[in-house]
Amino acid sequence: MSAAAQSSRRIVLGVEYDGSGYCGWQTQAQGRTVQETLEGAVSTVADHPVRIHCAGRTDAGVHALEQVVHFDTVADRTERAWVLGTNVNLPRDCAVRWAHQVPESFHARFSACARHYRYRILTRTTRCALERDRALWVHQPLDLERMQTAGTALLGEHDFSSFRAAGCQAKSPVRRMHYLNLRRDGEVIDLAIGANGFLQHMVRNIVGVLIAIGRGDASVDWTRDLLAVRDRTVGGVTAPPQGLFFVRADYPVEYALPQAAAGGRSSTIECAEKSVQ
């Protein structure tokens, strides 16, 4: 029987990776990418070429705790075989956490109801050798209370034009931000942020603005002012990628994804509305 005549299955994977050695998610003419690496490993297990789609494309240097991807295959493998077989063929900086078969209605990007990110900021006077690819080093003290107050203004539905990359191709700049929380743990400030969708560089641009506010270089009202002006050219500096982590994406409960980064819990608040693209 030909491959075309065999029945196709849609498989979802939860993938973690260290983005330090990659030129981002998307396959490109030159440079090592997560998509190309993962497609090669999965294709070996499937014994035929596969095309992989992800929940959110990450830039060069950005990490993922649980990137959600899907692919179609005619191969008949157990979920355990997809995990173990793919991991055997992956480099040490990329690993599959789980696999799950879903109906063809599922799409890693378009079925997502919400996405979650973390950004880590290391605040100390000297650079850190161990955190160089895991956090942004800021050698000045940051006022966490000012940053949190400024971040609160971003909650809810807004036009985030001032926080999108100049080349962002999203059809609409409107997004609904569900939460933005900052927590200090010793020398590290951890920002957790979730929304129904994100624009290109949106998280990194928000971080850049909040750092300026935390240093006292801008007023606490700057986030509110930027939302009102809707102009990226008056926004802050884009924070570098190494402190950014894609945490997970949320999906309707009927797909029953394992989602280890969610602790096995579905996010009903985020999934109350469809993600905008």
Where exactly are the structural domains of the chain?
Answer: 7-111, 114-245
Task: Judge whether 7-111 and 114-245 match in fold.
Answer: yes
Each residue's pLDDT tens digit, 88-125? 999 999 999 999 999 999 999 999 999 999 999 999 99
3-state secondary structure of 100: strand
Task: Identify the band that residue 262 occupies on the pLDDT scale cut at 50, 70 and 90.
Answer: low
State the alpha helices, DSSP H only, in the chain.
Answer: 34-46, 79-88, 144-152, 202-215, 222-229
Whether pTM exceeds 0.85: yes
**Is the pLDDT confidence value at 17 over 60?**
yes
**CATH top class, domain 114-245:** alpha beta
Q: Was domain 7-111 assigned CATH 3.30.70.580? A: yes
Could you confirm whether 59 is annotated as catalytic?
A: yes
Amino acid at 209: V
Write b or e for each residue in 60-84: b if 16 or more Cβ atoms lie within 10 A of its Cβ, otherwise e. bbbbbbbbbbbbebbbebeeeebbe
Active-site option among 59, 190, 221, 231: 59
Q: Give CA–CA dist 17/67, Å, rounded.
A: 8
pLDDT, averaged across the chain: 91
What confidence score (pLDDT) does residue 4 get?
A: 47
**Is the pLDDT confidence value at 3 over 70?**
no
**Is the pLDDT confidence value at 183 over 80?**
yes
DSSP state of 188: E
